[in-house]
Amino acid sequence: MLPIVRAVATWLALSLPLLALAQPAGDATPRLSSIGESCRETSQCEQGLVCRDGTCHDEKENAPCTATADCGAVLVCVDNRCITKAAAAQGPENRLWSGRHVATGGVIGIGPALPDGGDVDGTFLVGVRTAVLWGRFELSVELAMWIPTFDYGDPILSVTTGIGGLFAINEHLYWPVRLRLGVVALNTPNDDVYTVLGCDIIGLGYRFDSGWMFEVDAPSYRYVGDFDKYNEWSWPITFTLSRVF
């Protein structure tokens, strides 16, 4: 029996290391992603990094600062924002407009209006507006309380979407061009839902280094109606102030 026991012991001594080597690679600790590498969640990034838009970023990136010392060991402070050295080397045009951003703020407008079959009147609106920017391309949504004409009475609720571009005059100044499509409801004739069409083609905007945008559209052309019995045209001058994130 002794030779059999010795043979079994020898077999085990040789087999166990081979079995350990054969374990699936997934049992090993996965390598964490560094800056600029892909990720699905922050836990997949190295310490001090966060996962944004599928890429690991320094957690202080885009944070406010007064000096580079506020940004840690990797980032630099430019225009009171912590950014990467690569972004700093791109210049102000690319720093402001490259990548994807969200701009949200308030809009107010006042100007002339023309009701169907009536005399020239006035119009007024106030609301909130959010836009997603890919570089200088824009998709937006506006929610506003709108008085199509002063004789109309109670304000109506307007929800419009917009698509357009913010064409460069210089790195800060831009010319906004967009088309609008939406609906109005609440306090409409017979409580019906009507179509809103519009466009902005005459205006001027400015994007500040501090992360704010201010825009004037003079005017913002707008139509509301059913293309049949109810039609209103208005040309308010609108002012929009937005915070960019």
Spatial separation of the C-alpha atoms in residues 201 and 198, rounded to whole Å? 10
Structural domains of the chain, with CATH? 42-89 (no CATH), 100-244 (2.40.160.20)
Cβ neighbours for 8, distance < 8 A, ≥ 6 positions apart: none
pLDDT of residue 104: 97
Strand 156-168 with 203-207, pairing: unpaired
If phi > 0 it is left, if psi is from -120 to 50 it is alpha, else beta; for residue 39 that is: beta
- Over the stretch 125-148, which tens digit does the pLDDT of each residue have? 999 999 999 999 999 999 999 887
- Over the stretch 7-31, which tens digit does the pLDDT of each residue have? 555 655 555 555 555 555 545 567 8
- Over the stretch 69-107, which tens digit does the pLDDT of each residue have? 898 888 888 878 888 887 777 666 566 787 889 999 999
pLDDT of residue 64: 86
Residues shown for the chain: 245
Per-residue exposure over 51-79, b if at least 16 CB sit within 10 Å of its own CB, e if not: beeeebbbbbbbbebeeeeebbeebbbbe
- Over the stretch 43-61, which tens digit does the pLDDT of each residue have? 899 888 899 888 898 888 8
Token pair in block for residue 13 = 């001594």
Question: How many angstroms separate the most distant Cα atoms in the chain?
Answer: 116
Neighbours of 102 (CB within 10 A): 12
Sign of the four-CA dihedral 200, 204, 209, 210: negative
Where does residue 177 rank: exposed (0-12), middle (13-18), buried (19+ CB within 10 A)? middle
Spatial separation of the C-alpha atoms in residues 34 and 62, rounded to whole Å? 18
Which pTM does this prediction carry?
A: 0.66
- DSSP state for residue 118 in the 8-state scheme: S
- If one compares 234 and 118, the residue with the highest pLDDT of the two is 234
What is the rounded average pLDDT for all residues in the chain?
A: 85
pLDDT of residue 147: 85
Spatial separation of the C-alpha atoms in residues 212 and 161, rounded to whole Å? 21
| Least confident range of 30-44, 55-69, 83-97, 229-243 | 83-97
